Structure 1
Amino acid sequence: MTTQSPNKTAPPNSSLFRSKKFIKIQHSKTRTNVFSSQEFAFSIPEVLEHILSFLSLQTRQNSARMVCKQWYAVCKDLIPTTHTWILRLTPNGTTNDNRDDDLTIRDQISSANNINLQISEGNNITTLAPQQRLISWAAMMDTLSSIFHEHSHRQLRSKLRRLHLQEGVLGDFATQLPQLPHLATLTILRIDTVAKWDIVHLFTIYKTCPNLEELSVKPTRTAECASPRSFYAMDQLPLASSQEHTLIKGYDSLPVLARLLKCSLYDVTVSLPALRVFLKASPRLSKLVLARCTHVVRQGQDNTFFDPSYGHNHQGLGIIRLVGVHCPNLENFHLSISSTTGFGLESQEVVSTLETFPHIGACNLTDERFNSVLLKSLNAAGLINQITTLNLLPTRSNACQAQAIPLRQILCSFKHLIHLRAPTAVYYLEDMDLHDVLGQLRELAPNKSPDFADRHYHIPTDDLAIAHQYIWVCRGLKTLHMALSHRASRSSYSAESSLIIFGFLSRMTPRLQELHLTRYTVNLSFQGGLSLLTRLQDLERIRIVLDHCPCWAESALAWLEPTPPSALDRLKYSGLHRRKMRKDLWRHYKGISSPAVTATGSMLVARGRELGMDLSKVGYPDDILEWMDERYKGKGISTTGAPSCRKKRDSSLSKLQSFQVETPQGRKSESLEKAEKYVGRVRPDVDVRLCRPRDDEYYLTTLKLY
């Protein structure tokens, strides 16, 4: 597209501006996607509108039609199109539906940028014979090959960039993968399966898809939870040494996969010779995930699996060192190996990983193997300050709690930790109860928790060494996923426990952006202190997972209103009203010591003051009163924890994007629906869902993240 530049001195009504030649559109049979600076200028609506405004109405319409037609011809090929190709199987084992051979279907496949292959929803894939799928797969690949052959004959370049083989489509890697046609334009290949497959099958993928940028072979949430593993167990037996040698032979001379950046492989059998060839062919890998893999040594026709019970205590060291040699610039790495006790790495292997990749800063481990011994090993090796991201990933869809994870020690020792995702790791509420508020309440009413006396745990407040073990040092923490529980039995002090939780978090994590909490019960009323999270001004996402649907009044969410209190509300918040609020909040705390008494001589409070936190009121109703003072009197809290004089504080969570409460049933009461509508009215920009169905932690933190 070219334009004639108007004379700068010509008036707007001159014949030059009225001329139809003002915009001249050049058509070309071979149009490229490289635009000139003039074409970029015309893509700006304001520029084009300004130019067309000098033309008459009819000329403007004709020119606009030509411009739109030309730009549509250019842009229509840039918009990715997706086609879902379905295997429709019959009990008799016939091939694909005849409609797949229809010219319309072939045109859709031929012009698609993304293709999803799946089995029809009407088929029960668990009852279909393997031969039925193989016949349908072969017919589908023949159709795809003929389309690519037609493209080559007509000298057309294929548009296919992404291919997704959904669960049930690919079960036999050894038989089905070699039938893939040569996909030179493919950049993303995703395979959904829970089959135990062999790493040598990657070489077939390399041969057919030489320009891949992303490769993913892993189960979906549906395939992992619902589909029986026996249905997919067609490649469970690993290959023998001679078979591996035959498959690997000659692959060293193949073109290097210079574009492959991300590779996620689940349930794969790994041998060092095959892994070495794979890594040598992928020099630009930035992400490598080997999840739930099995390490095997091939000897003749037999296969020896590494197993800790047979003396192979550090089976991952060879894999880690090999990856370190060939991928020194790796940015994201996860390795989890199967053993008799689950999945994960030993302490020496974790230390070796961090020493091999000191530039990564992200430690991606399974939650089953992270214990106090591993923490001591990391501390002894001086690697704690290297870790900025710690992902303790669940390895099973029914993952609930991993109580062996020393979560408190992690948060009190990893000074530079920014992201902690440990949805199954337990943080005990007694470790948040800095002033033993619950202990004092139980002593006043011991009948409420008769077994508490035998299991009570109180933090010494006058010991400086103890204080360092209970105050978090990761002041820059932005992401926190964890579970909460009691060391003692479940208590009836729901509101009091919740006030401790949110009061503690609002002081310990001033930079938090994402908070995921899992707990049996949380009191979400005003007395429960959920409003204290408004102190975290960077908070963007809140997710609370409960075991039952809570009772929630609309008034308890008034703190979510973005507008500050009106002058009338501030005036009403007088000394008399404040004294009444204090009396109402302290009603259930009668008989316990005041914050001023517990803070005196407390090393926990002194340690918090060193780190810029005021911990004297954590767990007390005075924490909510202080929050109300901040909101109504405009007394802000500075970064050092001390009150800032007359500093007006925004308490509306201006960056909040998502607020979700999940329960197993996902049922909503009438009051919850009203509360949800209320938040939707006052905060329409926030995704608010109260009592939605509970999501799967394994899917969210493991399958989705990796």
Structure 2
Amino acid sequence: MALFNNKSRSLFKKPLPNNPSPLFIPEILEIIFSFLSPRLLQLHSSLVCRQWYLVVKSLLSILLPINWTGNPRQSDAYQQSFLHNLAIARALVIQRPKEPEIFYYSGVPHEGSKPWFDLITRLGNLATENRLQLNELHVLQSILLHTQLLPLIDVAGSVLTSLKLENVGYIDVPLDRILVTCPRLHTLHVRHTRKGYYQSVFHHGPGSEYGRPALPTSLPLRSLTLEAMGVEKAALLNLLASCPDLKELQLIKLIGPVYVPHPIIVPPRQDLVIYFRDWILEQIAAYCPKLRKIHLSICQESSWDVHGLALFSRVTDWSFLWRDATPVILKSLRRSHSSTLTSLEIVGVALHEAGYTPNLHRFMCESPQLLHLKAPEVRFETVWFDLEGILNSSGLHHRKYNNPWHPGLVGKSIDPAHRKIWACRNLRTLHLTFFYGSRDCNSVESMRVMFGYLGKVCPRLQDLSINCRMLALNLDSGFCLLSKLHELRRFRIITDIRQLNGPWDIGWVLKYLTPALRASMKLWIAKYNFTKSDLIYAKTPFASSNDVRPLTRLDYQRERNNDFMNVWDDDSDYGADGGDDGDDDIDKSIEADEGKGSPRSILDYMIEGVDMRNLGRRKDILDLFKDRLDKSWPCWPRMEYFEIATDYHHHIYDVRKMRGAIRKLRPDIDVK
């Protein structure tokens, strides 16, 4: 439960008014509170008065799932408390045990059978008394088929609406029996992760010690996910024929015929699904006309055929394995589903595919209706966000992609009118891995370009996940530029975080401005409010902007500083090489443009209605602080979850320091 401050304690003791409003009727309160997250209920609703606290307490016991490991070493008091809470629980999660898992292929009960026996007995008694309210069952650990899974399904299947099995290790996956035993099931997720030991197969046909009942003609199933397992064609089509209302179908990395060293343990299967082409796609589209989300992939080879995309005209959420998301597929998807495509997910790692970044960038530039992009393992180069060519002044990376779709234009060989930005202004979800490209592009400017681009181009983000190495979460890196995302609710960062320069680096996350924060912002503005000192070399500066120096001399490495990018030096010998100072060069370039019929008043930095000035420069941060000081808008008013993770153990101290600072400044956010 959340901590109580002085104000919340007084509200907690405040009696009810003489004429109570409908907001103090428990039944109405439960209906209203059911739409709120458990975090908001704990931090806000429970602190209003005692009646609200009691309603929230009873509601949380129902909404929050209860976890169970089946560890026989747990105390009897804990087991009794857990069994008592089963009567009011709506969701049960069977967690993985902390000790290493032991696999029992024979199905013989082991030392952990007593907790399982107590669990199944308790669920059976509740079902007999018609008191079982369990709707969701999520199994994360490997459990035995005959002594654990099937008895559990038999006693609780009649009330289940969602079933997720994460570590299936059975030779025959009993999907038929699960669907018949659970007549109200809407969501079924089966995932097998140990294909190196044996091959799980869902097949259709007689012969099994637990029996295969016939499926009914119509099942209420809405979502079906099968991952890393073999599926026979006849079994798949027979199952889909019984699911006319299916809206989500995900067949992820299906396993074809593999070499099995022990044929006695794993019987060979024939006619497995090894591709999704031709008549199979036609059958899926005919059996499931209401599909809205689809993922079809094979573990070994490419799965999709371009002509199969047109069969699913109503699908809005598309998911592909990384090898299937080819330029041809993306182009065909963009053309055939231009008015319906709202979500794109790319599963798997594509580290060394050079064509992924330009193809994905082009797809984003031509998909204004896209709302969700989930590609957490696809590496996207931040240089594609650079519209003026201020990154990597050596030009090596720019010449690599010398095409009209590259935003970092090489000199003046390409018309600046070809500058493109993402067209999805209403993007809600973004999960990507960013990297800086070439070696000398790893700079603070790259971070400012990335954060500034997302803040300008995608202002309506609600779920943001960034995976990026060498990420400096301080003021100079432009991390504060993400405070423009006023609708952000979930934020996740995976990085080898650099050490903070001081507590003022993260003070801007305060929801509302305080006098101390106002003073800090004004000091920072006064410190870095430069004129010439903050000018940066640019290959193709905006003609209507006079605060960027055109690139005429490649003296980049000498001026580079990883902490503060003061690349312009008033004492440099720039004029000795035949160049004038920055203001003269800018005036000459403007005069040349005016002589060609390009008036100075043309705002070429307005790209598709977005002001892209100062991208990658400190002035972008200064403008942000000035705007917040003038308008006093709150920072992340809807934020609920903030996570900082690292893959490097020697950076864990800095990660904990950042978490502690955010928890102190924003106690209303769940920080992990």
The answer, yes or no, to whether TM exceeds 0.5 is: yes
Q: Are the equivalent residues in 1 in contact too, given 2:342–2:371 (CA < 8 A)?
A: yes
Say whether residues 1:558 and 2:507 are aligned partners. Answer: yes
Distance 1:156 1:499, change over 3 A: closer
- Provide the residue aligned with 2:144 in structure 1: 170
Distance 1:319 1:269, change over 3 A: farther
Report the CA distance between 1:373 and its aligned residue: 2.7
- Provide the residue aligned with 1:185 in structure 2: 159
Say whether residues 1:204 and 2:177 are aligned partners. Answer: yes
- The correspondence for 1:506, drawn from 442, 452, 455, is 455
SS state at 1:86 partner: coil
Measure, in 2, the Cα distance between the counterparts of 1:261 and 1:135: 36
Residues 499-539 of structure 1: per-residue CA shift (max 9 Å, x gap): 22222222222222232222222233322222222333323
Measure, in 2, the Cα distance between the counterparts of 1:599 and 1:537: 38
Q: What is the Cα-based RMSD across aligned positions, in Å? A: 5.1
- The correspondence for 1:352, drawn from 300, 308, 322, is 308
2:385 maps to a residue whose letter is: M
Distance 1:283 1:98, change over 3 A: farther
Report the CA distance between 1:610 and its aligned residue: 4.9
Distance 1:165 1:459, change over 3 A: same
- Provide the residue aligned with 1:530 in structure 2: 479
- Provide the residue aligned with 1:315 in structure 2: 276
Say whether residues 1:626 and 2:593 are aligned partners. Answer: no
SS state at 2:567 partner: helix
Say whether residues 1:477 and 2:474 are aligned partners. Answer: no
- Provide the residue aligned with 2:233 in structure 1: 272
1:474 maps to a residue whose letter is: C
Distance 1:159 1:366, change over 3 A: same
SS state at 1:320 partner: helix
Find the structure with the greater CA-based Rg: 1
Q: How does 1:207-606 map to 2 (within 5 A)?
A: 207-218=180-191, 224=193, 229-231=195-197, 233=198, 235-236=199-200, 251=214, 254=216, 256-258=218-220, 260-294=221-255, 303-305=270-272, 307=274, 315-339=276-300, 341=301, 345-348=303-306, 352-353=308-309, 355-379=310-334, 381-394=335-348, 403-405=354-356, 406-440=359-393, 442=394, 458-460=408-410, 467-468=417-418, 470-491=420-441, 494-564=443-513, 577=526, 581-582=530-531, 585-586=534-535, 587-590=566-569
Q: Are the equivalent residues in 2 in contact too, given 1:424–1:482 (CA < 8 A)?
A: yes
- Provide the residue aligned with 1:86 in structure 2: 70
Distance 1:665 1:386, change over 3 A: same
Q: Are the equivalent residues in 2 in contact too, given 1:496–1:619 (CA < 8 A)?
A: yes
Residues 178-220 of structure 1: per-residue CA shift (max 9 Å, x gap): 9963643333333232537556x2112123323323322125x
The normalised TM-score by structure 2 is 0.67
Q: Are the equivalent residues in 1 in contact too, given 2:497–2:654 (CA < 8 A)?
A: no
Say whether residues 1:125 and 2:108 are aligned partners. Answer: no
Measure, in 2, the Cα distance between the counterparts of 1:347 and 1:469: 32
Q: Are the equivalent residues in 2 in contact too, given 1:495–1:528 (CA < 8 A)?
A: yes
Residues 207-257 of structure 1: per-residue CA shift (max 9 Å, x gap): 3323323322125xxxx5xxx5445x2x5467587759x977x725x4643
Report the CA distance between 1:88 and its aligned residue: 5.5
Q: What 5-or-longer segments of structure 1 have no aligned partner?
A: 1-37, 46-70, 90-96, 308-313, 444-450, 635-647, 690-706
Measure, in 1, the Cα distance between the counterparts of 2:270 and 2:169: 18
The normalised TM-score by structure 1 is 0.64
Q: Are the equivalent residues in 2 in contact too, given 1:552–1:675 (CA < 8 A)?
A: no
1:337 maps to a residue whose letter is: I
Q: Are the equivalent residues in 2 in contact too, given 1:513–1:541 (CA < 8 A)?
A: yes
- Provide the residue aligned with 2:555 in structure 1: none
SS state at 1:526 partner: coil
- Provide the residue aligned with 1:17 in structure 2: none
SS state at 2:619 partner: helix
Identity over the aligned pairs, expressed in percent?
A: 21
Distance 1:568 1:411, change over 3 A: closer
Residues 278-336 of structure 1: per-residue CA shift (max 9 Å, x gap): 1233333333322222468xxx98624455xxxxxx53444432232222122332222
Distance 1:44 1:98, change over 3 A: closer
Q: Are the equivalent residues in 2 in contact too, given 1:409–1:469 (CA < 8 A)?
A: no
Distance 1:422 1:262, change over 3 A: same
2:312 maps to a residue whose letter is: F
Q: Are the equivalent residues in 2 in contact too, given 1:283–1:326 (CA < 8 A)?
A: yes
Distance 1:295 1:172, change over 3 A: farther
Report the CA distance between 1:164 and its aligned residue: 4.3
Measure, in 2, the Cα distance between the counterparts of 1:666 and 1:571: 32
1:378 maps to a residue whose letter is: L
Q: What 5-or-longer segments of structure 2 have no aligned partner?
A: 1-21, 30-54, 258-266, 403-407, 536-565, 575-580
1:323 maps to a residue whose letter is: I
Q: Are the equivalent residues in 1 in contact too, given 2:138–2:165 (CA < 8 A)?
A: yes
- Provide the residue aligned with 2:5 in structure 1: none
1:531 maps to a residue whose letter is: C
Q: How does 1:50-69 map to 2 (within 5 A)?
A: none
Report the CA distance between 1:137 and its aligned residue: 9.8
Residues 417-439 of structure 1: per-residue CA shift (max 9 Å, x gap): 11111112222222222212134
Measure, in 1, the Cα distance between the counterparts of 2:588 and 2:491: 31
- Provide the residue aligned with 1:64 in structure 2: none
Report the CA distance between 1:680 and its aligned residue: 3.3
Measure, in 1, the Cα distance between the counterparts of 2:72 and 2:465: 41
Residues 65-90 of structure 1: per-residue CA shift (max 9 Å, x gap): xxxxxx9xx9999899958473759x
Measure, in 1, the Cα distance between the counterparts of 2:507 and 2:80: 60
Q: Are the equivalent residues in 1 in contact too, given 2:492–2:644 (CA < 8 A)?
A: yes
Measure, in 2, the Cα distance between the counterparts of 1:155 and 1:572: 64
Q: Are the equivalent residues in 1 in contact too, given 2:644–2:659 (CA < 8 A)?
A: no
Q: Are the equivalent residues in 2 in contact too, given 1:88–1:119 (CA < 8 A)?
A: no
Measure, in 2, the Cα distance between the counterparts of 1:544 and 1:327: 38
Q: Are the equivalent residues in 2 in contact too, given 1:242–1:301 (CA < 8 A)?
A: no
More helix by share: 1
Measure, in 1, the Cα distance between the counterparts of 2:187 and 2:525: 65
Report the CA distance between 1:629 and its aligned residue: 3.6
SS state at 1:414 partner: coil
SS state at 2:299 partner: strand
Q: Are the equivalent residues in 2 in contact too, given 1:460–1:466 (CA < 8 A)?
A: no
Distance 1:597 1:615, change over 3 A: farther
Residues 640-673 of structure 1: per-residue CA shift (max 9 Å, x gap): xxxxxxxx36263333334443221355687776
Q: Are the equivalent residues in 2 in contact too, given 1:476–1:509 (CA < 8 A)?
A: yes
Distance 1:383 1:686, change over 3 A: same
Q: Are the equivalent residues in 1 in contact too, given 2:145–2:170 (CA < 8 A)?
A: no
Distance 1:378 1:333, change over 3 A: closer
